[in-house]
A and B are shown apart, each in its own frame.
Chain A
Amino acid sequence: MKNAPNPEFEADCIRRILAGEKQLFHDLIRPCERPIFFLLMSILHNEADAEDAAQEAVVKIYRNLHLFRGESQFRTWALSIARNEGLGRLRKAGTRREDSLDALTEDQGGDFTPAILTSWREVPSRALEQKELAAVLRQAIDGLPEIYRNVVLLRDIEEMDVRETAAALGIAEGAVKVRLHRARALLQRSLAPRLKGFAPNRGKLFGWAKARKDEPR
């Protein structure tokens, strides 16, 4: 798990911060920065707004630290504050999208049939050196309905477990699983046809020649 939380370190840190060692808050919040930002990106859909909201949320987390009861993980609690910050901004801007989307997408069922393939040539992670591939992947995730995007970001990208994701998003664990399944099906369908072009060429010669060319001199 990326930046797996360490509850003992957190509890100790929080005690000391509240006792006056304020600077420790920097270390406490560091592992939460990525999930906070990407959750807000998912809600607000704009990098500058997400960064602004992330700063505001982190300040709120700092100010309200004495209210943290240790009933959940610190990161879960921090993420729910970030989520409220994001949703509050949406409400203020008059774009209350989440409720309607929740109702719509969950009930409609929709079509989650995968792209049907008869064979698959693996696209290795080193293909990500091509900026274009990362852009295609980001676009596909940006294009997901918000309720699926949130879950993909927390579960697959931030590698949070089902329980923590459910708590951070304020939804049931079953909903996390259903949404993740649907999101992955939608992503497989949109991405599989486009990723084929990024699989290494079958001809070894070409791969070899290219590798040679890219070698440092």
Chain B
Amino acid sequence: MGLSTKVGIDLVRLGKDLEFAPADQARVKEILARYPADQRASAIMPVLWLAQERFNFLSQEAIDLTARSIGVPASEVAGVATFYTMFHLDPVGKYVIQVCCTMSCSIMGAERVFAHIEKKLGIKAGETTPDGRFTIKKVECLAACGYAPMLQINERKFDERLDEAAVDRLLDSLP
């Protein structure tokens, strides 16, 4: 193990191939059309996003599917998938709660909010509730520092200067 770098990441294997539905295959074509014909690798990130949306997280099979759909080596796709923090390499809950804990949010009480969420859901950072509803993550700056502390749930932002009561209301209101 190196000092500060992860050495070797074991991707989750489902044991069966994944496929995109015809509508998603059409979407892949649209994505490829945004980039020059000889620069297919540019489609890796957008297609990984699509695969993650469909299959919850990026398994070895989701990475193989992405590679196959674009026509690039799976190793290249795996390199990209493991570099960016928003690509999930393990299953996540229906709601991924991302609490910003960087500078301004930290000064304004982000850790307090995070501790409250941990306590409320009974899980720790990076974990998922047993019913598969919530995953909680401490994340780096989400560019909403003036409204700190803030959090984001999946792609929806909540930056209303949260406190414990606001977090309770928010989590209890989710369908």
User: Are chains A and B native binding partners rather than an unrelated pairing?
Assistant: no
